[in-house]
């Protein structure tokens, strides 16, 4: 069914003739492209026509040229690679720690007792505040960056895995048990796949956190990467550089988040969310 705004559609489509219908369809098809193009055009023209100071908003063409230059010079691919490397290593680390703790915690009473207060305090607190401590302990290089990022992301993964594996339908587990599955088999063959959708949701929440934190660590500690180069541009008041950074980081973020969605769809072929079908009432 269409969303709440069907009222608009109703108002429009009631007794509407062919002309109006096609205008509407046209608007729906062209509208999205229109906005994006309009935004990019406004950006370019606003600074070309000196409606805003070019320092605050350099023309789009200048920014794109800058990106191209950095690309050719080899600095940009290097920065992207370094940032992605840190992000992904930290993400995998957080994933391994988070999922295993999330599975173990609810199943072993003593471990649950120990971790429960730590996690309920750790989850809502701004973990980035610990960055100076991580710098103190692990230095200024990749180790402290990766550990900081992994630490920031792992609480979310623990808590979603915990609740997902706890909320698997009892009937599912019972039916596997009555078919003769062992406890270990039930964990890996029933509980894990059944809670996979929620675990993936947890990972999808954790990934943006990783990206956010990795940039912050690079801005604070330096050591190359997109965050470092962007902050350096800001320090040198190099506004095309800052905007180039925004665009680059935006694209990297978009690609990473999109690929998470694609992986989710691939992994959850069996799940009804992948097989949404339009139905009539």
Partner 1 sequence: MSAAATLWRFTPLLIIALLWEATTRLGLISEFALPPLTNVISSFFKLLADDLLYHTGRSILRGAVGFLCAMVVGVLAGVLMAWYRPVRILVNPLMRCFYPMPKSALIPLTIMWIGLGDGSKMTLIFIGCLLPIVMSSFNAARGVDQVLIWSARGMGATEQQVLWEVVVPASMPEILSGIRISLALSFILLVSAELIIANNGIGYLIDLLGEGGDYAGMFAGVITISAIGFFADRGYVMLMRRFLRWRE
Partner 2 sequence: MASVARSGREHDNPAAAPGISISGVCHEYRPANGRPVLALDDISLEVKDREFVSILGPSGCGKSTLLYLMGGFMPLQQGEIIVAGKTVTGPGPDRGVVFQNFALFPWKSVRDNILYGLEKQGLPREERLEIAQHYIDMVHLSGFEDSYPSQLSGGMKQRVAIARTLAIKPDTLLMDEPFGALDAQTRSLMQEELIAIWNRSPTTVVFVTHDVREAVLLADRVAVMTARPGRLKEIVETKFADAPHDEIVKSPEFLDKVDYTWNLVRAEAVAADAEKAG
Q: How far apart are CA 41 and CA 39, in angstroms?
A: 5
| Interaction between residue 131 and partner 1 (CB under 8 A) | yes
For 155-167, b where at least 16 C-beta lie within 10 A, e where not — what string? bbbbbbbbebbee
Q: Which of residues 11-70 bind partner 2 (CB under 8 A)?
A: 13-14
| Residue 278 contacts which entry, partner 1, partner 2, none (Cβ below 5-8 A, type-dependent) | partner 2
Interface residue with partner 1, options 16, 23, 96, 137 (CB under 8 A): 137
| Interaction between residue 104 and partner 1 (CB under 8 A) | no
| Interaction between residue 106 and partner 1 (CB under 8 A) | no
Residue 198 burial class via C-beta count within 10 angstroms: exposed 0-12, middle 13-18, buried 19 and up: middle
Q: How near is the Cβ of 281 to partner 1 at its closest, in Å?
A: 9
Q: How near is the Cβ of 14 to partner 2 at its closest, in Å?
A: 5
Site mask, partner 2, residues 249-278, x = CB under 8 A? Answer: -----------------------------x
* Nearer Cβ to partner 1 (96/251): 251
Q: For the chain, report the end-to-end CA distance as a whole number of angstroms.
A: 8
Could you tell me the two tokens for 25? 């369809």
Q: How far apart are CA 182 and CA 189, in angstroms?
A: 10
Interface residue with partner 1, options 80, 186, 200, 213 (CB under 8 A): 213
| Residue 280 contacts which entry, partner 1, partner 2, none (Cβ below 5-8 A, type-dependent) | partner 2
* Nearer Cβ to partner 1 (71/260): 260
Q: Is the dihedral of CA 161, 162, 168, 173 positive or negative?
A: positive
Question: Is the CB of residue 277 less than 8 Å from the CB of residue 108?
Answer: no
| Residue 54 contacts which entry, partner 2, partner 1, none (Cβ below 5-8 A, type-dependent) | none
Q: How many CB atoms lie within 10 A of CB 120?
A: 11
Interface residue with partner 1, options 27, 141, 174, 188 (CB under 8 A): 27
The CA distances from residue 125 to 4, 115, 132, 151, 243, in Å, are 36, 15, 15, 12, 31
Helices (H) and strands (E) in the chain, counts: 12, 0
Q: How far apart are CA 130 and CA 150, in angstroms?
A: 12
Residues that bind partner 1 (CB under 8 A): 1-9, 27-28, 31-36, 39, 56, 113-118, 121, 124-133, 135-137, 208-209, 211-216, 219-220, 226-227, 230-231, 233-234, 237, 239, 242-243, 245-246, 249-250, 253-254, 256-258
Residues that bind partner 2 (CB under 8 A): 6, 9-10, 13-14, 278-281
């Amino acid at each position: 069914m269409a969303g709440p705004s069907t009222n608009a559609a109703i108002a429009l489509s009631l007794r509407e003739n062919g002309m109006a219908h096609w205008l509407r369809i046209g608007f729906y098809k062209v509208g999205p492209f229109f906005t994006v193009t309009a935004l990019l055009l406004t950006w370019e023209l606003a600074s070309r026509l000196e409606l805003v100071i070019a320092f605050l908003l350099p023309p789009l063409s200048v920014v794109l040229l800058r990106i191209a230059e950095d690309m050719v010079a080899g600095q940009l691919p290097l920065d992207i690679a370094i940032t992605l490397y840190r992000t992904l290593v930290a993400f995998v680390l957080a994933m391994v720690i988070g999922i295993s703790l999330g599975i173990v915690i609810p199943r072993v009473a003593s471990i649950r007792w120990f971790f429960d207060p730590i996690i309920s305090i750790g989850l809502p607190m701004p973990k980035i505040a610990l960055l100076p401590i991580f710098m103190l302990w692990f230095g200024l290089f990749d180790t402290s960056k990766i550990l900081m990022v992994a630490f920031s992301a792992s609480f979310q993964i623990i808590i979603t895995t915990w609740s997902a594996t706890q909320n698997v339908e009892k009937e599912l587990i019972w039916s596997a048990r009555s078919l003769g599955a062992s406890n270990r088999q039930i964990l890996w063959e029933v509980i894990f796949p059944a809670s996979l959708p929620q675990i993936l949701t947890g990972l999808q929440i954790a990934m943006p956190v990783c990206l956010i934190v990795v940039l912050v660590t690079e801005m604070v500690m330096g050591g190359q990467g997109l965050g470092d180069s962007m902050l350096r541009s800001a320090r040198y008041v190099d506004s095309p550089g800052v905007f180039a950074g925004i665009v680059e980081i935006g694209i990297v973020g978009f690609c990473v988040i999109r690929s998470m969605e694609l992986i989710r769809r691939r992994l959850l072929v069996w799940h009804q969310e992948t097989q949404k079908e339009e139905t009539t009432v």
